[in-house]
A = this chain, B = another copy of it.
Amino acid sequence: MKQLLAVDWGTSSLRGALLDGQGRVLKERSFPRGILTVAPGEFATVFEACFAHWTRAAGTFCLISGMAGSKQGWLKAPYCACPAGFDEVASQLAWVEAGRIAIVPGLSCEREGIPDVMRGEETQVFGALQLLGIQDGLLVLPGTHSKWVTVRGGKIENFSTFMTGEFYALLRQHSLLARSLPDIDGEVDWVAFDEGVALALRGSSLLRTAFSVRTLSLFGRMATAQLPSYLSGLVIGEEIRTQPLDSGAQVIVVGAPTLTERYQRALAQRGTSVQAVGAEATWCGLWALAQTIHPSWDKQA
């Protein structure tokens, strides 16, 4: 029976899932072997060490998405220019081993004079479309670098990157605000988070609103334990403020529940409803791409 080894090889982690011909996840594994931990020339060795026991079965096809296709990765995969759908992506795979191991290309676009790129998120988007059975929509993939993605007729039309998660981490760890903040983030304080979102949505700029973390602390107007949630609200609110969302718009949020919950809550302040899709979108996207590449595949199961 043919199987798919679906791999998400990102900057900081390496995850894999074994899927059967119907796209069912049989097994999953995760390793702290993001591409930044792998020396040039060592990618094949790391890949084999992590997944050899799954790839021994005859007819196992391996499809990899994420930063493994970047210049610092295993093999440079191209960027497909938007608009791009399954077919465009499937036709530009970077083959590590002909017919057996391939890396999914990234996407590029240009919007309002800003060139933009993604690697890995395109696969999550395709997976989310499959899971929801839709061809059009506005999606956000929150993270270190959040992506806002417009899909029309099953193709990714364009997208924008927001360095939201990274700004949070920089301010949290390296800025003068860090002195006002507790050593570790506790549970989300939703009141403080909502207050941060509300301030960000009122306008101004994160350059200004971020300083309120210090002053609210200085004047004892917010408890120290609440400040990380407040700061998270400020950065996520800033990201959401700049989106052109019509009243009654719906946004599909793709990611882990801890983040999608924050986006759902922040988007609610703009009157936007949310449909959440979990991390399974990656496996689903890789499986759908594998079917495009091997159209006869599921019939042989």
Please give the residue numbers on chain A whose beta carbons come within 8 Å of chain B beta carbons, in ascending order: 112-117, 144-145, 160-164, 166-167, 170-171, 173-176, 199, 202-212, 215-216, 218-219, 221, 235, 238-239, 241-242
Whole-angstrom distance between the Cβ of A79 and the nearest chain B Cβ: 9
* CB-based contact B241/A205 at 8 Å: yes
* CB-based contact B113/A199 at 8 Å: yes
Whole-angstrom distance between the Cβ of A223 and the nearest chain B Cβ: 15
Give the copy number: 2
**A177 and chain B: residue at smallest CB distance:** B163
A209 vs B238: C-alpha distance when bound (angstroms): 13
Whole-angstrom distance between the Cβ of A229 and the nearest chain B Cβ: 17
Known: A174-B174, A221-B115. A205 touches B238 (CB 8 A): yes
Whole-angstrom distance between the Cβ of A283 and the nearest chain B Cβ: 26
A239 vs B207: C-alpha distance when bound (angstroms): 7
A274 vs B219: C-alpha distance when bound (angstroms): 34
* CB-based contact B209/A114 at 8 Å: yes
* CB-based contact B205/A206 at 8 Å: yes
* CB-based contact A166/B175 at 8 Å: yes
| Complex interface: chain B residues within 8 A of A171 (CB) | 170
| Complex interface: chain B residues within 8 A of A173 (CB) | 174
A208 vs B173: C-alpha distance when bound (angstroms): 21
Known: A113-B199, A174-B170, A221-B115. A206 touches B208 (CB 8 A): no
Interface contacts beyond A115-B218, A167-B207, A204-B242: sample of 18 additional A-B pairs, CB < 8 Å, sorted by A: A114-B199, A115-B216, A115-B219, A115-B221, A116-B215, A117-B215, A117-B218, A144-B176, A161-B208, A162-B211, A163-B175, A163-B211, A170-B175, A173-B174, A205-B205, A207-B235, A207-B238, A208-B242
Known: A205-B239, A205-B241, A242-B208. A215 touches B163 (CB 8 A): no
A284 vs B227: C-alpha distance when bound (angstroms): 39
* CB-based contact A212/B115 at 8 Å: yes
Pairs across A and B, CB under 8 Å, 13 listed = A114-B209, A115-B216, A115-B218, A117-B215, A161-B211, A162-B211, A163-B210, A163-B211, A170-B171, A173-B174, A205-B242, A207-B235, A207-B239
**A114 and chain B: residue at smallest CB distance:** B212
A116 vs B204: C-alpha distance when bound (angstroms): 14
**A115 and chain B: residue at smallest CB distance:** B215
| Complex interface: chain B residues within 8 A of A163 (CB) | 175, 207-208, 210-211
| Complex interface: chain B residues within 8 A of A206 (CB) | 205-207
| Complex interface: chain B residues within 8 A of A199 (CB) | 113-114
A166 vs B212: C-alpha distance when bound (angstroms): 15
A185 vs B114: C-alpha distance when bound (angstroms): 23
| Complex interface: chain B residues within 8 A of A162 (CB) | 205, 207-208, 211
A105 vs B239: C-alpha distance when bound (angstroms): 37
**A166 and chain B: residue at smallest CB distance:** B175
